[in-house]
Structure 1
Amino acid sequence: WPAGWRRRRRTRACLLLAWAGAALGPSRPHTWRPQGQGARWLRRRVLRPPAPPYGHVCQVGDPTLRARAAPVEPARVRGAEVQALIRALVRAMRRHGCVALSAPQVGVPLRVFVAEYPERLCAELPARERQARQVAPFPLRVFVNPAMRVLDARLVSFPEGCQSVSGFSACVARYQAVQVSGLDADGEPTTWQASGWAARIIQHEMDHLEGVLYIDKMESRTFLNLRWAELNE
């Protein structure tokens, strides 16, 4: 860093905060909504940053994604905090158009994940691709404190992506069939036996709960930016 950067940074911060105070004014303290990157920095200082569970999906580099998630006390599953987490996960999953999401991905280091593959998303895939990848729709499923058992140890490799490594994909070898057991949103025992793409989704989310990302298991030469062709135009 160049000499004097700390002093310049403090001066700039003071000026910006002074401007923020003027912008807020005495009569409209809650209506100020600055725009842009500098304004985002300012909002975080003045209005405080958001708290987990986030509405956005945490990106690689966030320490929460690399920590082993803690189990949830069964008696707390029906409590307000865990129920709010489950709702936040479902909202974020649907908002971002993904088919599963784990609690660490919204900044909460607990062993919870949700998954849902609606028919409309399946219909977006060509029939040949759906058949090759064994993609089939399934309803919303919620797992708290999930445990996984391998049912078919054959390894199948296909490209997969992750909302926490946004804009990229790579081939990953996954077991053909697995069983996951845990508690549902009501705190009741639940079990799901899945094969094909659903089994891949389960394994991907179970990895998240261990602080593992698909890039740790990928075939590195298949790693690609999904927009590479667009960027060359």
Structure 2
Amino acid sequence: MSIRPILRMGHPVLARVADPVPDPRAPDIRALVDDMGETMRAAGGRGIAAPQVGVPLRLVIFHAPLEDEESRSLDGAPLTVLVNPVVEVVDPAMTTDWEGCLSLPGLKGAVPRPVAVRYRGLDLDGQPIDRVARGFHARVVQHECDHLDGILYPQRMADLSTLAYLENEPFED
């Protein structure tokens, strides 16, 4: 396992649609997931997508509580590995909340997103994952999966005047 450099906004890999993972059970995919996990933990992130570490594949990992969807605590939040995800909106009501991103260090912005989504994909054993997520869990999934389509959160912001440096807080977390 190793910590990989995290690409920053403006890098061409972050702006393109990622390619499907041919075999989630492949040893190189497991090694990539190990590196992504170590990189995410070292950077203090909630999730990371393969394009953020320079690999244009449809693969994300994230920590999000499954029970209490509004909680932002890592306690009890499982690490989810999602290969070739598909996200579908199940509740079109929108909510706006603050988001940050490892590819935009030191910044946060208010991003509107659907309150509930269903996500499907595969785990590292090739087994299907099919979950409905609400609240913070849904936000994390949408944010990470956006990376697979070349979208960074400022592109989702309704009002760019809310994009700010963290040192200008107080933002509610």
User: Where does residue 119 of structure 2 map in the other structure?
Assistant: 180
Q: 2-side partners of 1:141 and 1:206: how far apart?
A: 13
Q: 2-side partners of 1:83 and 1:187: how far apart?
A: 12
Partner amino acid for 1:103? A
Contiguous gaps of at least 5 residues in structure 2: none
Identity across the alignment (%): 38
2:91 to 152, 159, 169: 152
User: Where does residue 104 of structure 1 map in the other structure?
Assistant: 51
Q: 1-side partners of 2:85 and 2:3: how far apart?
A: 22
Q: 2-side partners of 1:188 and 1:79: how far apart?
A: 14
1:161-194 residue CA offsets vs partner (Å, 9 max, x unmatched) = 1110110111000010111100001111111211
Note the C-alpha offset of 1:135: 2.1
Note the C-alpha offset of 1:136: 4.9
Structure showing the higher helix proportion among its residues = 1
Contiguous gaps of at least 5 residues in structure 1: 1-52, 119-130
For the pair 1:199 / 2:138, whether they are aligned, the reply is yes
TM-score for the superposition, normalised by structure 1? 0.66
For the pair 1:77 / 2:24, whether they are aligned, the reply is yes
Q: 2-side partners of 1:106 and 1:135: how far apart?
A: 27
User: Where does residue 101 of structure 2 map in the other structure?
Assistant: 162
Q: Cα RMSD (Å) of the superposition? A: 1.9
Note the C-alpha offset of 1:117: 4.1
User: Where does residue 30 of structure 1 map in the other structure?
Assistant: none
Structure with greater Cα Rg:
1
Contact 2:3–2:42 (8 Å) recurs in 1: no
How many residue pairs match? The answer is 162
2:128 to 189, 210, 229: 189
Contact 2:109–2:164 (8 Å) recurs in 1: yes
1:98-151 residue CA offsets vs partner (Å, 9 max, x unmatched) = 111000000000000001148xxxxxxxxxxxx9x9225520101000001111
Q: 2-side partners of 1:192 and 1:90: how far apart?
A: 21
Structure showing the higher strand proportion among its residues = 2
User: Where does residue 33 of structure 2 map in the other structure?
Assistant: 86
Q: 2-side partners of 1:170 and 1:134: how far apart?
A: 18
TM-score for the superposition, normalised by structure 2? 0.87
Q: 1-side partners of 2:156 and 2:29: how far apart?
A: 30
1:134 to 70, 73, 93: 70
Note the C-alpha offset of 1:220: 0.5
SS in 2 for 1:227: helix
Larger relative contact order (Cα-Cα within 8 Å, sequence gap ≥ 6): 2
Note the C-alpha offset of 1:208: 0.4
Note the C-alpha offset of 1:90: 1.0
Q: 2-side partners of 1:169 and 1:136: how far apart?
A: 16
